[in-house]
Amino acid sequence: MLAAPPEEIAQILAPHPIFARFDSASLLAVAAQCGFATYTAGTTIMREGDPGSYALVILEGEVDVFVELPTGPVKMATIGRDRIIGELGVFTDLPRTATVVARTYLVVVRIEQASLMRLSAEYPSIGVAIIRELGGRLASMNRSLAYLTHAAEALGRDEYDALLLDELTGQSGELATFARAFAGMAAEIRAKQNRREEMQAAAEIQQSILPPPLAREGATEHIDLHAEMHPAREIGGDFYDYFLIDSTRLAITVADVSGKGIPASLFMAVSRTVMRSITSARDMSFGMSEANRLLATQNTACMFVTMFHGVLDLSSGVLRYCNAGHNPPYLLRAQGGRITLGATGIPFGIDADMPYRIAETMLHPGDKLFMFSDGITEAFDAENNEFGTARLESALEDGRNRGAAELVRGVLGATAAFTAGAEQSDDITCLALVFRP
């Protein structure tokens, strides 16, 4: 430590709140016990938890202040010229509450605890000034903590307003720095809350797009149909649809849009609207080609949709279908055995000029049609094993003699049991239809 004239150091100390309370004689006596010191950049000047025995007034340079957490050090502030650090180690016996590292080359005035305490016996005004300063800081801290507590409680009630911390964030010091960090965090939380509310609203809208349970009356009296869609996120790109085209024909669709989230959900809504608009076309092949053309035109996002779309004649059991690159549905025969309904074209939205072939099969009394998205077969367990086709077929055999709802829930239950402990990676959709003319 380098000695210096007491008058020079007294002039340096005088502007600081705690020393401003000292009378001239006390201030000169303290200044006579202080000196100049220097530190190189990167030097740890004070370490959290160590005993405090001195304080520093920064004349040139800056320091970074860190608090140690179990996860590592957290930077609380950068302090520069004319600021005092470590004063609690001079005025009390408390250990250091933070670690201080020289950010740049430092020139400081060093104040020793032993000298200050020794002088306070000779100059009672020093002790009085210290008590008043610490009392003022406690009052200020209580008020700051009250602001922060009020803001935190308001955030918990979803009533947070950034104006609650305006007075505190405009101040200097560590609590004000923390308040600014809290305000930033609160703003991010509020933004996420708003986004979550928007996503919940979007999910409700998407669920409302899906058709209600099929009424078993009139033409559909002998059709047992059940479908479920479970998105991997709040909203998804899978969808199913079914509706009567006329008194004898039932349209059924299961589709899977590429991607996830909002873009997939928007393309899903467009795809459903397109399919509903073309289903009445007498030439089914033309209708599918038109649907593909509409979805491929101006498709700047390069999205596509795999889709199984069928039209079931309820009077005859004839099922005419187009499988646009979708997972082949299973047709479980009432008399035993099963077949799959393979692809008749590529996914919609890729090539606007692609023609689509229409295939045909026959449903007999008691036959079951099971349609699904690849969220079933491509579901993974915690060890990254795939559910796969074999497990799906086993679940279908277990549900061969059940109704449509029981068949769907059996497959979903088998999938959930297999993937227990793993995050759902894709949207999951199932539709089962039992033909009972």
Compute the mean pLDDT over every residue in the chain, rounded to the nearest whole number. 83
Q: Are residues 228 and 356 in the same domain?
A: yes
In a domain, residue 182? The reply is: yes
What's the CA gap between 291 and 345, in Å, rounded?
13
pLDDT at position 358 over 70: yes
Q: What percentage of the chain exceeds 90 in pLDDT?
A: 40
Residues 160, 225 share a domain: no
- Domain assignment present for 213: no
Q: What is the tens place of the pLDDT at every residue in 55-112?
A: 888 888 999 988 887 878 888 778 888 788 887 766 677 788 889 999 999 988 887 8
Average pLDDT for 410-422:
93
pTM, two decimals, is 0.61
Number of domains in the chain: 3
More confident residue, 236 or 256: 256
Burial code (b: 16+ CB inside 10 Å, e: under 16) for 229-261 equals bbbbbbbbbbbbbbeeeeeebbbbbbbbbbbbb
Residues 294-314 have a mean pLDDT of 90
Please tell me whether residues 238 and 321 are part of one structural domain: yes
Higher-confidence position of 405 and 24: 405
Q: Are residues 342 and 268 in the same domain?
A: yes
Domain of 40 in residue numbering reads as 6-122
Predicted confidence band of residue 233 (pLDDT cuts 50, 70, 90): confident
Q: Return contacts of 280-289, CB within 8 angstroms, 24+ apart.
A: 280/245, 284/311, 284/320, 284/322, 284/358, 285/322, 285/355, 285/356, 285/357, 285/358, 288/322, 288/324, 288/345, 288/356, 288/358, 289/354, 289/355, 289/356
Q: Give tens-digit pLDDT for 156-210.
A: 666 666 665 665 555 665 556 666 666 666 667 677 777 777 777 777 777 778 8
Residue 429 lies in a domain: yes
Same domain, 330 and 402: yes
**Looking at the structure, do residues 246 and 303 belong to the same domain, yes or no?**
yes
Q: Check whether residue 193 and residue 235 sit in a common domain.
A: no
Residues 198 and 222 in one domain: no
The CATH number that applies at residue 13 is: 2.60.120.10
Does any domain span residue 139?
Answer: no
pLDDT confidence of 20, banded at 50, 70, 90?
confident
pLDDT (mean) for 431-436: 95
In a domain, 212, yes or no: no
The reply to whether 297 and 392 lie within a common domain is yes
Q: What is the mean pLDDT of residues 337-366?
A: 94
Distance between CA atoms of 175 and 23, rounded to whole angstroms?
A: 29
If pLDDT is split at 50, 70 and 90, which confidence band does 34 have?
A: confident
Alpha-helical (H) ranges within 71-123 are: 88-91, 113-122
Cα(79)–Cα(76) distance, integer angstroms: 10
Same domain, 272 and 378: yes
Q: How confident is the model at residue 139 (pLDDT cuts 50, 70, 90)?
A: low
Q: Is the same domain home to 315 and 403?
A: yes
Are the CB atoms for 69 and 48 separated by under 8 Å?
A: no
Indicate if 34 and 167 belong to the same structural domain. Answer: no
